Amino acid sequence: MLPKWFNDWNKDRPVDIYGPAILVGAVGGAVVIAALLISAGQPFATKSMQTGPAGTGMAQVEFVSEITDVDPTIVDYYTEAPYPVEEGAPLAGDVYENVQVLDGLTEDNFNRVMLAITQWVSPEQGCAYCHGNGGLETYASDDLYTKMVSRRMIQMTQNINENWGGHVNAQQEVGVNCYTCHRGNNVPENIWFRLTPLGDTMEGWGAVQNRVTMQSQYTSLPSDALESYLLEDNPIGVHDYSSHVDSDPTDPNTATWQDAERTYSLMNYVSNSLGVNCVFCHNSRAFYDGGQVTPQWATESLGIAMVLEMNNDYLVPLKDVYPENRLGPVHGDAPKAACKTCHQGYQQPLQGMNVIADWPELATTGDPVYE
């Protein structure tokens, strides 16, 4: 049963059986490992995406196994191609009462969009989530806050796709629609509210940090970074890198060490939201030098400006529309968005899936372009 050379070895060297045994075991083990790698793939293989000029070492390295892990929410995404638009087809604004947005769509495409929104936002409650249980005769009513919020969210989605392509379509056309944030939930999972001060036992700087909060990503960093930078539009910056600088800390244009900690808190939040590290946007040898950043830095800067507009122009003004149970637990403020609301741990929401291709109605505030 054993090879002839193995039997001859044992015959000539009856006491030295370990040499050939080790050799056979090593070769056999190598064959098994090779077979496993061929069949299952290299579990520690990496893939690099260049994020800066060639030769600078500016690249984002990720495990291939993590890159290929599919976002679990993708499988539940609903889409449907537009219906051909026939000349003279009835429009939603003429057929239905109180259609304030999307009124220029044909009846068929309007109903198609409404069905999609139902699947994206309220798959369990169905149409009743916005229109109530009274039947078709109640659909024109604005009694439910959900309908008024939905109307405004459609306008926000159109604005993002129309005016913020530099961010949402930086790599390729992907766009956004309701599912980008909601993922089948009535309320997106990664909204945020104002929390600071975090208690009444401390005043000043101690009242914004060293507490476990989502806003600080469960670190000791400040919990007011999102409200400071994504709501109040305060300048993002860190303290001077030189010592004994002649500056006034009461000057709003002077970045203090508190501003530096807030900046680190925001950057930590952004990194976790996109599933990347600092060098995705920055050059590690010169974080402060805007001339050495990566292209992703500009994309993220546009994203911050976009979220500022979303919060201040669309989300915060809805405070009086929401019922009390939808408002923040500390300040009673309206829910707001940030990077994680859309990205949910991936460089691109839904791993770069084009969610606007079938929905030109949500891509513009004007008349949709059907191909």
> Does 114 belong to an annotated binding site?
yes
> Does 244 belong to an annotated binding site?
no
> Does 282 belong to an annotated binding site?
yes
Beta bridge pairs of residue 63: 46
> Does 281 belong to an annotated binding site?
yes
Q: How far is Cα 14 from Cα 52, in angstroms, rounded to an integer?
A: 64
Amino acid letter, 317: P
> Does 182 belong to an annotated binding site?
yes
Query: Helix, strand, or coil here: 309?
Result: helix
Q: How far is Cα 67 from Cα 132, in angstroms, rounded to an integer?
A: 42
> Does 306 belong to an annotated binding site?
no
> Does 148 belong to an annotated binding site?
no
- Judge contact between 300 and 281, C-beta under 8 A: yes
> Does 156 belong to an annotated binding site?
no
Residue 133 CB coordination number (10 Å): 9
Q: How far is Cα 2 from Cα 261, in angstroms, rounded to an integer?
A: 69
In this structure, what are the phi and psi dihedrals at residue 47, rounded to the nearest 5 degrees?
Answer: -135, 135
> Does 153 belong to an annotated binding site?
yes
318, containing H or E segment = none
User: Nearest Cα to 107, choosing from 96, 119, 115?
Assistant: 96
295: buried, middle or exposed (CB in 10 Å: 19+, 13-18, 0-12)? middle
Q: How far is Cα 263 from Cα 269, in angstroms, rounded to an integer?
A: 10
Integer CA distances (angstroms), 137 to 132, 140, 284, in order: 10, 7, 61
> Does 267 belong to an annotated binding site?
yes
Q: How far is Cα 209 from Cα 203, in angstroms, rounded to an integer?
A: 11
Buried b (16+ CB within 10 A) or exposed e, 194-233: bbbbbeeeeeeeebbbebebbbbbebebbbbbbbbbbbee
> Does 49 belong to an annotated binding site?
no
Residue ranges for the binding site for heme?
A: 114, 127, 130-131, 153, 167, 178, 181-182, 267, 278, 281-282, 339, 342-343
Residue ranges for the binding site?
A: 114, 127, 130-131, 153, 167, 178, 181-182, 267, 278, 281-282, 339, 342-343
